[in-house]
């Protein structure tokens, strides 16, 4: 095919073109292996210079920096450790430490096709997850090597370990998944534990040389006994969460009052029908809905969230602690709040029959239930009712009850918004959320899957709508100057992963069309519908989620693929979320309670479904109780080998391969709370 000619404009700015070219190279380098075309580049770089980009892409292809993989789409083909001539005296890179059990590490660097090996002696005290600067020493084809030159950011400074006293010295032994080390207590240590107590220790001095000692101070004594309370506190502390609020925060809270002094500057919603809908056991209510007919008989629906900024001053101790925690952490039996209880459960909680300071997005709908206009600003509300999801669902099902007319109207419009969102290409993924029914002592009596009701989706749609409109408002407020803002972004799925998944789905009799973005979303939603009807297909839905890119926070907007929104942010949930999630702690908590639940059932057999696999084990979910367990490959008679697609395992002496979604009968052989892991074998 003949290449299209592009003529240079007389006003062509070579400097700007050079900058744009470097931005394009960096974009492809940071997304190695991912094909992208001109439209994706324009969207990611937030530019409309299509002719310049087209020319640069062709030039980069001719130089070999980019490689065309399909018509109009390229992948990065430039800087690679095994081919690039790197000046090891000058070239440094940045990356994240992935520490191995042997004490050495691999540094995962952006822009490099291979991870960099660093020996234990060259780690410069770097811990697992630290963000470091490295210098290459051996850029070999087989295994590039380097040394850590600088610790740029510590992943954590707080650890959980066992306190010991030996020969007039006290220290804490820290054992983690891939490392074990000692932290000696410095002279400032005030808390004195008993020998063998489990404690939380804060590092005060890191090792700079191998001969140095790591120093720290005990910040909390957890105790000796292996109790659920100690384990939950350990999980939180290991992820860097403070178990108590600092003294400075407590002092600030003493002067915080419930008086709202700026009512005159807020839009008043106190006489408008307003209520909250939350889980039955919720203690913090951070969003509310209002509904009324305005003077033109148009329907006005308000989405209100707690105005936390009214109580939390920038750079205050409260603000810094909330930023450090990131968000409220929801474990199986407790919540560690982002903000002190006086704020999260009282002042910032939109409790009924109390005036509350809020931020709001207020939508006006016409008679066809289309949005005519919207308003964003500070408000004051007075919730008249606190509903649980189940209560709202019952009212909608019965067709009568308190505030039925308002709830029915809200539900009706939410379903219309949802239908249009899905038609526009949004993907409706339903993930199962396992909950525990606990006795008075906090021990699990049963496990159950949280049901997704129409009432849940009602709230979900209005929160999505508010988030979308706030992001759009900021993005378009000033076209001359870009306003700094944090967007919630979600990139397009990886074509290779989609192709592999589509092939695997066909083996299970499900044919999906991934030829266009719209057909991808249509196929994924079709799969979700089928999974609701046939539980054996839920593993396919889980695999489908893995093919998707991970959503992230970024000041650079690329849109949200999964929601099919051009602009999206997290305006809602201000009490529970600042910037990031505490998924690891929540996952560890769930695993602990699953093991606790099955401790007395060693030797019992269970029907299970394969949900994952690697070259060491098969991961299964027990169908009856939703507990996750590990089936080591070395426990299977004969040799077992993971296939290239990582979706099936060949049994050398067996019959057909074991693949994702297969049902097995397994026997529980281990349920150790210390490891938070259930081990099974084939029954």
Residue by residue, DSSP assigns 379-430 as EEEE--EEEEHHHHHHHHHHT-STTHHHHHHHHHHHHHHHHHHHHTT-----
Q: How far apart are CA 195 and CA 169, in angstroms?
A: 12
Contacts of residue 253, Cβ cutoff 8 Å, sequence gap at least 6: 245, 318, 340, 342, 343
Q: Distance (Å, rounded) from C-alpha 323 to C-alpha 333?
A: 24
Q: Which residues contact 90 (CB under 8 A, 6 or more apart)?
A: none
What's the pLDDT tens digit per position in 6-60? 333 334 444 556 667 777 887 887 776 778 888 788 877 777 676 778 788 888 8
Burial 489-516 (b: 16+ CB within 10 A, else e): bbbbbbbebbebbbebbeeeebebebee
pTM: 0.78
- CATH tag for 158-224 (out of 2.40.50, 3.50.30, 2.40.10, 2.60.40): 2.40.50
Sign of CA pseudo-dihedral 672, 675, 676, 679: negative
User: Which pLDDT value is given to residue 85?
Assistant: 44
Residue 474, CA atoms < 13 Å, CB-side half-sphere: 21
Residue entry with tokens 């281990």 = 670
pLDDT of residue 358: 98
Comparison of pLDDT for 178 and 99, the residue scoring more: 99
- Read off the pLDDT of each residue in 598-609 and give the average, rounded to a whole number: 95
Angle between helices 538-547 and 495-507 (to 10 degrees): 170
Q: What is the CA radius of gyration of the chain?
A: 28
CATH fold label, 585-682: OB fold (Dihydrolipoamide Acetyltransferase, E2P) (2.40.50)
Whether the CB-CB separation of 306 and 276 falls below 8 Å is answered with no
- pLDDT value of residue 11: 40
Helix, strand or coil, per DSSP, at residue 491: coil
CA distance 314 to 129: 29
The answer for residues whose C-beta is within 8 angstroms of residue 47's C-beta and 6 or more apart is: 20, 53
Assigned CATH topology for domain 92-153: OB fold (Dihydrolipoamide Acetyltransferase, E2P) (2.40.50)
Average of pLDDT values for 582-587?
86
Answer yes or no: are the C-beta atoms of 161 and 201 closer than 8 Å. yes
Q: What own/partner pairs with CB < 8 Å and gap ≥ 24 does 291-299 have?
A: 291/406, 291/409, 291/410, 294/364, 298/364, 298/365, 298/366, 298/367, 298/372, 299/364, 299/365, 299/369, 299/409, 299/413
Return the structure tokens found at 521: 């979303």
What does the DSSP 8-state code read for residue 345? I
Where do the H-state alpha helices sit in 140-212?
none
The more confidently predicted of residues 463 and 612 is: 463
Average pLDDT over residues 495-500: 84
Mapped onto helix, strand or coil, the DSSP state of residue 452 is coil
Q: Which of 420, 417, 392 is nearest to 406 (CA)?
A: 392
Q: Which position has the token pair 């006795």? A: 439
Looking at residue 19, its pLDDT comes to 67
Predicted local distance difference test score (pLDDT) of residue 583? 82
Tell me, what's the pLDDT at 7? 38
Report which secondary-structure segment, H or E, holds 454. Answer: helix 454-477
Of 252-261, 268-277, 491-500, the least confident: 491-500
Task: Return the higher-pLDDT residue of 232 and 450.
Answer: 232
Q: What is the model's pLDDT at position 113? A: 64
Q: What is the pLDDT at residue 81? A: 37
- List the Cα angle 292/279/386 in 5-degree steps: 40
Q: What is the mean pLDDT of residues 487-512?
A: 86
Question: What is the arithmetic mean of pLDDT over 55-67?
Answer: 80
Q: Distances from the Cα of 68 to the Cαs of 54, 78, 112, 487, in angstroms?
A: 13, 13, 20, 31
Helix (H) or strand (E) holding 251: helix 247-253
Give pLDDT tens digits for 280-301: 989 899 999 999 999 999 999 9
Question: What token pair was written down for 554?
Answer: 């970024």
Q: How many CA atoms lie within 13 A of 527 on its CB side?
A: 32
Name 15's bridge partners: none
The secondary structure of residue 342, as a DSSP letter, is I
How far is Cα 526 from Cα 370, in angstroms, rounded to an integer?
27
Q: Candidates 1.10.230.10, 1.10.10.10, 3.10.450.50, 1.10.1040.50; correct CATH number of 14-76? A: 1.10.10.10
Residue 518, pLDDT above cutoff 70: yes
SS (H, E, C) 317-338: HHHHHHHHHCECEECCCCEECC
434-473 pLDDT, tens digit per residue, is: 899 999 888 999 998 888 899 999 999 999 999 999 999 9
For residues 414-422, average pLDDT? 96
- Sign of the Cα pseudo-torsion (668, 669, 673, 676, in order): negative
- Phi, psi dihedral angles at 556 (to 5 degrees): -100, 110
Q: Which of 268-277, 387-396, 451-460, 550-559 has the lowest mean pLDDT?
A: 550-559
Q: 């038609």: which residue's tokens?
A: 423
The Cα–Cα gap between 351 and 420 comes to 32
> Is 158-224 the same fold as 92-153?
yes
| pLDDT category of residue 378 using cuts at 50, 70 and 90 | very high
SS3 525: helix
> Pseudo-torsion of CA 379, 385, 388, 391, nearest 10°?
-140
Query: 12-20 contacts: CB < 8 A, separation 24 or more?
Result: 17/52, 17/56, 20/45, 20/47, 20/49, 20/52, 20/53, 20/56
Angstrom distance (rounded) from CA 161 to CA 199: 6
Left if phi > 0, otherwise alpha if psi is -120 to 50, otherwise beta: which for 299? beta
Strand order from edge to edge, sheet including 73-76: 36-37, 73-76, 66-70
Decide: 541 and 495 in contact? Cβ < 8 Å.
Answer: no
Q: Pick left, alpha or beta for residue 90 (phi over 0 → left; psi -120 to 50 → alpha; otherwise beta).
A: alpha
pLDDT bucket at 88, cuts 50 / 70 / 90: very low
Instruction: Please provide the average confidence, as pLDDT, over all residues in the chain.
Output: 87
pLDDT score recorded for residue 79: 45
Tokens read off for 228 = 């659920």
The helix (run of H) or strand (run of E) holding residue 585 is: helix 583-598
| Of 599 and 207, the one with more pLDDT | 599
Q: Which two tokens stand for residue 548?
A: 């998707």
Lowest mean pLDDT among 133-142, 349-358, 418-427, 594-603: 133-142
- 211: Cβ–Cβ under 8 A, 6 or more apart, which residues? none
Nearest to 613 by CA among 640, 594, 583: 640
Stretch among 190-199, 362-371, 644-653, 657-666 having the lowest mean pLDDT: 644-653
Backbone torsion region of residue 146, taken as left when φ is above 0, otherwise alpha when ψ lies between -120 and 50, otherwise beta: beta
* 3 state DSSP class of 67: strand
Domain layout of the chain by residue ranges: 14-76, 92-153, 158-224, 252-458, 470-582, 585-682
The pLDDT tens digits for 381-394 are 999 999 999 999 99
């Amino acid at each position: 095919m003949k290449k299209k000619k592009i003529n240079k404009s007389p006003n062509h700015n070579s400097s700007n073109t050079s900058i744009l070219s470097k931005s394009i190279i960096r974009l492809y380098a940071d997304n190695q292996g991912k094909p992208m075309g001109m439209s994706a580049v324009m969207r990611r770089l937030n530019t409309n210079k299509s002719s310049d980009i087209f020319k640069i892409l062709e030039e980069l292809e001719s130089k070999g920096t980019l490689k065309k993989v399909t018509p109009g789409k390229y992948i990065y083909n430039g800087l690679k450790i095994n081919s690039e001539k790197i000046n090891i005296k000058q070239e440094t890179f940045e990356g994240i430490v992935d520490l191995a059990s042997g004490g050495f590490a691999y540094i995962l660097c952006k822009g490099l096709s291979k991870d960099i090996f660093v020996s234990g002696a060259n780690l410069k005290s770097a811990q697992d997850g630290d963000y470091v600067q490295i210098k290459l020493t051996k850029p070999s084809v087989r295994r590039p090597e380097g040394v850590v030159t600088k610790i740029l950011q510590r992943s954590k400074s707080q650890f959980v370990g066992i306190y010991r006293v030996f020969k007039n010295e006290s220290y804490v032994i820290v054992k983690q998944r891939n490392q074990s080390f000692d932290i000696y207590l410095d002279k400032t240590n005030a808390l004195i534990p008993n020998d063998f107590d489990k404690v939380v220790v804060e590092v005060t001095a890191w090792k700079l040389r191998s001969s140095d000692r790591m120093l720290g101070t005990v910040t909390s004594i957890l105790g000796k006994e292996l109790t659920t309370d100690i384990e939950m506190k350990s999980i939180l502390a290991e992820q860097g969460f403070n178990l108590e609020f600092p003294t400075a925060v407590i002092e600030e809270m003493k002067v915080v009052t419930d008086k709202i002094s700026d009512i005159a500057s807020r839009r008043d919603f106190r006489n408008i029908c307003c209520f909250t809908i939350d889980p039955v056991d919720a203690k913090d209510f951070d969003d509310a809905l209002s509904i009324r007919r305005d003077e033109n008989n148009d329907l006005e629906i308000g989405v209100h969230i707690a105005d936390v900024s009214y109580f939390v001053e920038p750079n205050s101790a409260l603000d810094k602690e909330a930023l450090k925690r990131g968000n409220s952490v929801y474990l199986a039996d407790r919540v560690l709040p982002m903000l002190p209880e006086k704020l999260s459960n009282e002042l910032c909680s939109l409790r009924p029959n109390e005036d509350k300071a809020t931020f709001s997005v207020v939508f006006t709908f016409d008679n066809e239930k289309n949005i005519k206009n919207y308003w964003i600003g500070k408000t004051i509300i007075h919730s008249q009712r606190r509903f649980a999801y189940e209560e709202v669902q019952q009212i909608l099902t019965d067709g009568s009850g308190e505030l039925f007319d308002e709830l029915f109207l809200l539900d009706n419009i939410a379903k219309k918004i949802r239908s249009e969102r899905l038609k526009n290409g949004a993907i409706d993924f339903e993930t199962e959320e396992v909950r525990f029914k606990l006795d008075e002592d906090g021990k699990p009596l049963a496990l159950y899957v949280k049901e997704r009701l129409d009432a849940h989706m009602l709230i979900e749609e209005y929160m999505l709508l508010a988030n979308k409109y706030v992001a759009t408002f900021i993005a378009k407020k000033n076209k001359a100057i870009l306003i700094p803002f944090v967007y919630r972004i979600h990139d397009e799925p990886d074509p290779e992963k989609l192709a592999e998944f589509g092939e695997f789905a066909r083996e299970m009799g499900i044919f999906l069309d991934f030829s266009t973005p719209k057909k991808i979303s249509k196929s994924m939603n079709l799969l979700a519908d089928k999974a609701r009807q046939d539980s054996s297909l839920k593993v396919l839905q889980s695999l489908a989620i893995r093919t998707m890119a991970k959503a992230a926070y970024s000041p650079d907007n690329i849109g949200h693929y999964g929601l099919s929104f051009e602009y999206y942010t997290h305006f809602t949930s201000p009490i529970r979320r600042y910037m990031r999630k505490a998924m690891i702690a929540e996952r560890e908590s769930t695993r602990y309670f699953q093991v606790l639940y099955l401790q007395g059932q060693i030797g019992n057999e269970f029907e299970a479904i394969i949900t994952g696999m690697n070259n060491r084990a098969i991961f299964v979910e027990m169908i009856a109780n939703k507990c996750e367990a590990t089936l080591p490959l070395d426990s299977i008679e004969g040799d077992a080998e993971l296939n290239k697609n990582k979706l099936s395992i060949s049994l050398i002496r067996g019959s057909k391969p074991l693949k994702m979604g297969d049902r097995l009968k397994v026997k529980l052989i281990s349920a150790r709370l210390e490891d938070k892991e259930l081990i099974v074998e084939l029954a």
